[in-house]
Amino acid sequence: MSTAPFTVAIDGPAAAGKGTVSRALAQRFGLAHLDTGLLYRAVGAQTLDGADPIKAARALVPDALERDDLRTAQVAQAASKVAVMPEVRAALLDFQRAFARRAGGAVLDGRDICTVICPQAEAKLFVTASDTVRAARRHAELLARGDDTTLETVLRDVRARDARDAERAAAPMRPADDAHVLDTSDMSITDAVAAAIDIVAQARAARGLPVER
Ligand code: C5P
C-alpha cells in the first residue's frame, strides 16, 4: 500500500450511483472509504430524536454512524435540513479533511467534497443521473428494505432534497470546474464503475502510483 496521500472526491445528487462507484473504487485501489452523507444523516436522526443539530454535530462520535435507521427517507430529509446550517457543516469539516488525507489514500463521497472539503483531491468526479432515473432506483432500494412507499413520493422527496442541496448558501451541491462528470442515466452500474476506474487509474498513473492493488 502506498502512503502518499491520494484522494478521490466524488459529489453528486441522491441515488445517482455515488455510493456504488465509491465502494468499487475503494476496493479496486485499496483506499479507505467515507460516505459523508452518513455524518449528516446521523445528525439528522438525532435531531428527529429531539437533539439540537449544532450540538449533535459537534459531539458526533463514530458509533453514531452505526445506527440502523440512517437509510430511511425520513432521516434523508432531516439530513438535508441540518446540512443547510453552516455551524453543522463546520463541525464536520476537520474529520472529513483528515480522512481525505489519511495515509494510503481515501475515497469520499458527498455533495461538497470536490468544492469545499478537498479541492486539492487528485481525482474528482461528479456522478449524476436524471431525477426520474434516480427516483426509480431509490424507490426500488426502499421497497427492498421493506419501506412501503410510492414512486411519486420518492420523486417528490428527491426533487425537494436536490433543491435544498443545490440552492443552500453554505457549500451548495455543484460540479467542481475540474470534476469529471459521469451521467449514469443510461449506463449500467458495471459501465459506470468501469468509467470511474479509468479516470482514477489515469490520475494514479500520472503521479507514478500503482494502478493495481
Ligand atoms: O448522500 P446522502 O443522500 O446520504 O446525504 C444525505 C444528505 O446529507 C444530503 O441530501 C445532503 O443534504 C447532505 N450532505 C451534504 N454534504 C455532503 C454529504 C451529504 O450536505 N458532503
DSSP for 1-34 reads ---S--EEEEE--TTSSHHHHHHHHHHHHT-EEE
Does the C-beta of 80 come closer than 6 Å to ligand 1? yes
Query: Is residue 28 domain-resident?
Result: yes
Ligand 1 centroid to 13 CA: how many Å? Answer: 8
If you search the block for the grid coordinates 469529471, which residue do you land on? 180
Which amino acid, residue 165?
D
Q: In the prediction, which pLDDT does 145 show? A: 87
CATH number for the domain that contains residue 73: 3.40.50.300
Distance from Cα 30 to the centre of ligand 1, integer Å: 24
Predicted pLDDT of residue 54: 98
Tell me, using a 6 A CB cutoff, whether residue 40 lines ligand 1.
yes
DSSP annotation of 121 reads -
Cell of 52: 439540537
Q: How many domains does the chain have?
A: 1
Cα(114)–Cα(192) distance, integer angstroms? 19
- Does the pTM exceed 0.85? yes
Residue 211 lies in a domain: no
pLDDT number for residue 213: 74
* Distance from C-alpha of 74 to C-alpha of 114, rounded to nearest angstrom: 27
**Residues of the chain predicted below pLDDT 50:** none
Q: Is 176 a pocket residue for ligand 1 (Cβ < 6 Å)?
A: no
Host domain of residue 16: 7-206
Q: Render pLDDT for 117-131 as a digit per residue (tens, 0 to 9).
A: 999 999 999 999 999
Q: Is the CB of 41 under 6 A from ligand 1?
A: yes
Predicted pLDDT at 2: 57
Q: Apex CA 166: angle with CA 73 and CA 135, to 5°?
A: 40
The identity of residue 70, as a single letter, is L
Evaluate whether residue 136 is within a structural domain. yes
Residue 41 lies in a domain: yes
Q: Is residue 69 one of the residues assigned to a domain?
A: yes
160 belongs to a structural domain = yes
